[in-house]
Amino acid sequence: MFIPSELCVLGGIPDELRTNGMAMRNIMATTRRNPAQKMKSIEDFAAQLCSQKTFKEWGVEVDSRPQVLDAKVLPAPTALLDKGYQPIDENFLRQLAV
């Protein structure tokens, strides 16, 4: 199973490591990937699935190429906070306490 790192919460990390800014930056740098890296990871995962013996025996086929879709980029949502409406963007999410 592949779970995007953006949806994962780091667990099992001691509090002293969590409060170490440099260590947390290193962890985030290791887990944060650009879109091309993410796509490569997904394609590799699909290829790995296709090569499994069980998949071949059952006749299951998985296309390792992504499906191309037309899409629209939506504007960033806003949140009503004490200070009024604020856009929810990358900077806003970084300020949240974890």
What one-character-per-residue DSSP string does 9-66 give? ---S--HHHHT-HHHHHHHHHHH---HHHHHHHHHHHHHHHHT-HHHHHHT-----SP
When comparing pLDDT for 25 and 95, which is higher? 25
Q: In percent, how much of the chain has pLDDT > 90?
A: 2
Using CB atoms within 10 A of its CB, is residue 31 exposed (0-12), middle (13-18) or buried (19+)? exposed
Of the listed ranges 14-28, 39-53, 83-97, the least confidently predicted one is: 83-97
Mean pLDDT on 63-79: 83
Tell me what pLDDT residue 78 has. 82
Tell me what pLDDT residue 98 has. 53
Spatial separation of the C-alpha atoms in residues 43 and 64, rounded to whole Å: 5
Residues in Cβ contact with 27 at an 8 Å cutoff, skipping those fewer than 6 apart: 10, 13
When comparing pLDDT for 30 and 7, which is higher? 30
Tell me what pLDDT residue 11 has. 66
CB 87 within 8 A of CB 93: no
